[in-house]
Structure 1
Amino acid sequence: MLRYLFGPGKNEEHVNPRLVAAWSGPDYLSSLAPPLRPSGRHDVRNLARLLEQPVRAGRNPPQKFVWHASVRNHITDRILSDSQWAHIATEMVAAVGIAPHGDPDAVRWVAVRHAHDHIHIVATLVRQDGATVWAWNERLKAQTAARDLEQRYGLHQVGPVDRTSHRRPTAAEQNKTRRQRRPEIPRDRLRREVRATAAAATDENDFISRLQAAGVLVRLRYSTIHPDEVTGYAVGLPDHRTSTGDTVWYGGGRLAPDLTLPQLRRRWEPGPGTMPRVNAQDPGRPRHQYRSTVFRQATAAADEGAHHLAAQRDTDEDGIAALAEAAADVLASTARAFEGRKGGPLTNASETFDRAARETHWRHPGRLHPATIQLRSMSRLISTVGRLTNEDDAVAALQLVLRLSMIADNLANLRDAQKRIHQAQAARQAAESLRAITEASRSLPAVQRTAAPPPTPPRQGYPKGRAV
């Protein structure tokens, strides 16, 4: 670790690597600093030996005893001095509990700076009195300390953790995707597929059937107390396997917080009020005309929802949450109609909007607003009318996209009022992306005709047992 931090980096990006803080205080930094060799590289052996001394003398030290964290400023922040970074490092190690203020027997640690916008903190997890330190929940503690330091130094405010973001692909997943030359990380593909399917499905049976029709493997989890009760699910891809040939499974919660089976069941509940009946297609009416009518109905519902969201954002948070979720489903279905399973800019905007619409806990609204009920129906209906095939379809769909950008703008104001900075930023980003897509699409020629998707399979009960 030290050789890397004091080295040139992977692309010669490390400039003037140096110690800015250490466990021994500022007076000893010069004696701890690794000297330069004739080759121009730093000799870190003595510093490594000093850091490891408590580990070698400790009582039953852990095998993995190195703790590492990087602390980075936002791109818009001013450049901090070495002394300011030293104070930040000291606050961080104290906040996570490995080197509390005023504890002379705490672990040994150093802070290395080799760029203007960040530092690296390296510690060994054995105290100088021989006891091992376990940094429990250090990520949350470090993030809490970072929010405090942002205010104290007048830096960019990131906002508190709201637990609504989905899990990002790990480094191992990204490396495996590159090795296998996949166009997309399996976790991301599955999350998009499950989200679009959930927006189109009417219940659990329909959800499972649609996933199977899309080529997604599904494995159900059953209760250990009531063997016939389904308590969860996992999904996988037929060609995504481990080195031993087993399918790599992702539970709904590993894809996104709102894709667990209990959350999906809540979404499929009809809720108070009656779901409207949508007029069936006239057998003598061209399909594309029916498709345009569906998008126009959805646009009217989105317009009503946008105005309701603007007028009621401070009084009915539960109802607004239901409306935002319904709008996210409509956008997911529209993106699938526009871009298909491979996705594109509208699909990316849909992912961003969904991030803004998620809630930190379950919402139990009273009587749903009519626009929410209508949007829920429209998301399912849009998923059944197939891909866009002509300019009339595209124009009608773009009008819907523009109205959904208004909902995103108003949702951003709600998130600001709730002090949920991450989701407010996601809502604004989604609104800007949707408007940019609308403007760009207006200058394009008519939508090229595409083949209609295969019909939705008949609803079936899901079997019990192994993957289907």
Structure 2
Amino acid sequence: MGGLLRYLFGPGKREEHVRPRVVAAWDGSGPLDALQPPERSGGWHDVRGLTNLLEQPVRAGFRAPSAPVWHASIRNHPTDRILSDAQWAHIAAEVIAAVGLAPHGDVDAVRWVAVRHNDDHVHVVATLVRQDRRTVWPWQDKRKAQAACRDLEQRYGLYRVAPPGKGSRRWPSPAELNKAARLRTASSSTRPGRETGRAGRGVAPRERLRRRVREAAAVATDERDFFARLAQAGVRVKLRRGTRDPEQVTGYAVGLDGHRTATGDTVWYGGGRLAPDLTLPQLRSRWTETPPTGRGGNAARVAATGIVPPDVSRRAAETVRDAHEAMRAASSPLVASAIASAAADLLTATATAWEGREGGPLSDAADWFDRAAHDLHGRASARRVSQASHLRAMARLIAATGTVSRDRDTVAALHLVFTVAALAESLADLRKAQDRLHQARAARHAAGHLPLYHPPAGTADARTPDARAARPPTPDPPSLDRRGRQR
């Protein structure tokens, strides 16, 4: 407790703590002025008195836990207004009551304080021993605290955080991120003059694998093609076979060369550990959806022959436009989700063809679009949604081209990007109507940044009309936490 309070009332790691103060405390604590740690000469705060008050129940408790401190930081969004100390005090009291540590009206609850040393957040610090000497064991405190924050966002008119499209992906753990950062540092120290590229900027292996697996899944025609594309992308694959029938493949795991455990074994990730829709059964459901005849069927047959026509971008733009009209006219959200999912595959294939395996801004936009397109409740089969089959067939055709013909397809390529951006806007409207705000913001982020994308190097920009001016840029999305998730 003492070390934590010294940090909260200290200057901070980068002198970012400004006027630290207690803004709220437990019932019966008395005036807040009496709890404020006195400031000594030199600017440091003496927290010994406050530490002693908070630790008194712990010293007197029955079998006090070895780790008796509970600590949470409550932060609002950068776009929110600055709240007063009284407002932050109310927020802190609501959160700590919601998690069950200090329910309203319980005078024997734990002792706690809320410390504010910045405009945008407070720290809530409590001990886990009640004043009646009983220990409190928090249960699902994270979920309860987040639920309380969602309610407080509405009551105060703050930036609303919606569930982040539950199940859209599996996020790297802090240990994975720390390991990626260490490997990046070691690589830069041994090869200081070498550019690391996008894949070497401390990106966790789980994220790199998820992107490569999704790129292969977006354009694969069957199981054999999928695993072959993974091998071409430098991904190691381990198949899982059935216990009753060893010839039957029931799943797969992927890994990267050089990403090993302390004992030297490859770190494997099953498809479900990357994203729920990347499990082998989910991928097989894609491959069994045979495209109907028409533009999509022709595209699939052309892609299979390996003979690529010169007007791929124009044909893809027409396919996206037709799919956009069908999505806006769809009477069922499942149909719209099927079209959006197939459009995500098309954008992923386009980004891979234009930017390569290292990725770029178009790959980032495709990643945001994929988050918005994910549907928790499933989607209609592509057998019943011809536009979805057409989009996936065009994705395979674009993948077959490898790269776009630079001078000839510049205008058509830009038109393809703009049509996908328009579809992303409609997807954002759909997600907003479904009250899935996180995915709506992801779709608007993709829609706002797609028109700002510059064609690949070597295109005839001087002869390309500046269509970007016709579409105002969309503001940046919410800030991200260390895992890349929206706050």
Q: Which of the five TM-score ranges fits, normalised by the shorter chain?
A: 0.7 to 0.9
**Which residue matches 2:478?**
none
What is the aligned partner in structure 2 of residue 244 from structure 1?
A: 263
Give the secondary-structure state (helix, strand or coil) at the position aligned to 1:133: coil
CA distance in 2, matches of 1:204, 1:130: 61
Residue-by-residue CA offset, 1:162-197 (whole Å, 9 max, x unaligned): 414534444433333232224241222112111101
Tell me, in whole angstroms, the C-alpha distance in 1 between the residues paired with 2:265 and 2:346.
35
> CA offsets, 1:265-318, max 9 Å, x none?
3333306956724343799x9x6xx35333332221101011112222xx2111
Matched, 1:29 2:47: no
Q: 2:297 aligned with 1:276, yes or no?
A: yes
Would you say 1:111 and 2:146 are equivalent positions? no
Distance 1:177 1:272, change over 3 A: closer
**What pairs up with 1:44-443 in 2 under 5 angstroms?**
44-181=47-184, 182-185=200-203, 186-222=205-241, 230-270=249-289, 276-278=297-299, 279-280=301-302, 290-312=308-330, 315-365=331-381, 367-437=383-453
For residues 408 and 58 of structure 1, what CA distance do their matches in structure 2 show?
A: 57
Query: Are the equivalent residues in 1 in contact too, given 2:289–2:381 (CA < 8 A)?
Result: no
The corresponding residue for 2:468 is none
Question: Residue in 1 aligned with 2:192?
Answer: none
Residues 230-266 of structure 1: CA deviation (Å, up to 9, x unaligned):
4443322111223332323333333334333343333
For 1:280, give the aligned amino acid: V
CA deviations on 1:354-374 (whole Å, 9 max, x unpaired) are: 011001222344853322111
Secondary structure of 1:40 counterpart = coil
Identical-residue share of aligned pairs (%): 56
Letter in 2 for 1:264: L
Q: 1:137-159 deviations in whole A, cap 9, x for unaligned?
A: 22222222112111211222223
CA distance in 1, matches of 2:324, 2:430: 12
Structure 1 counterpart of 2:474: none
Tell me: CA distance 1:246–1:353, structure 2 relative to 1, closer, same or farther (3 Å): same
Further displaced range: 65-74 or 78-87: 65-74
Worse-superposed segment, 31-40 or 3-12: 31-40
**Residue pair 2:110, 2:131 contacting (<8 A) in 1 also:** yes
Change (3 A) 1:361 1:221: farther
1:444: which partner in 2?
461
- Return 195-204 or 55-64, whichever deviates more: 55-64
CA–CA distance in structure 2, aligned partners of residues 374 and 38 of structure 1? 73
RMSD: 2.9
Q: Please state how far the C-alpha of 1:329 moved relative to its aligned partner.
A: 0.2
Equivalent residue number for residue 462 of structure 1? none
Counterparts in 2 of 1:62 and 1:222: CA distance versus 1, 3 Å? farther
Give the conservation status (yes or no) of the 8 Å contact 2:163–2:436: yes
How far residue 229 of structure 1 moved from its aligned partner, in angstroms, is 5.3
Listed one character per residue, the Cα deviations across residues 408-437 of structure 1 (whole Å, up to 9, x for unaligned) are 011111111101111111111101111111
**Please, what TM-score do these two structures have when normalized by structure 1?**
0.85
Q: Is the 8 A contact 2:355 2:456 kept in 1?
A: no
Q: Distance in 2 between matches of 1:72 and 1:265?
A: 42
Q: How does the TM-score come out when normalised to structure 2?
A: 0.82
Query: Once structures 1 and 2 are overlaid, which stretch shifts more, 20-29 or 406-415?
Result: 20-29
Give the drift of 1:444: 3.4
Q: Per-residue displacement from partner, 1:429-448 (whole Å, max 9, x unpaired)? A: 1011111115898873699x
Query: Does the 8 Å contact 1:217/1:238 carry over to 2?
Result: yes
Find the residue that maps to 1:119 and give its secondary structure. strand
What stretches of structure 2 of length at least 5 have no aligned partner?
185-199, 465-487
State the secondary structure of the residue aligned to 1:89. helix
Cα distance in 2 between the residues matched to 1:11 and 1:381: 52
CA distance in structure 1 between the partners assigned to 2:250 and 2:74 by the alignment: 40
Q: Is contact 1:62-1:132 (8 Å) kept? A: yes
Partner secondary structure for residue 439 of structure 2 = helix
Mapped partners of 1:153, 1:187: distance in 2: 37
* Structure 1 gap ranges (5+): 448-468
Structure 1 position 26, deviation (Å): 6.6
Distance in 2 between residues matched to 1:126 and 1:223, nearest whole Å? 50
Q: Give the corresponding residue for 1:19.
A: 22
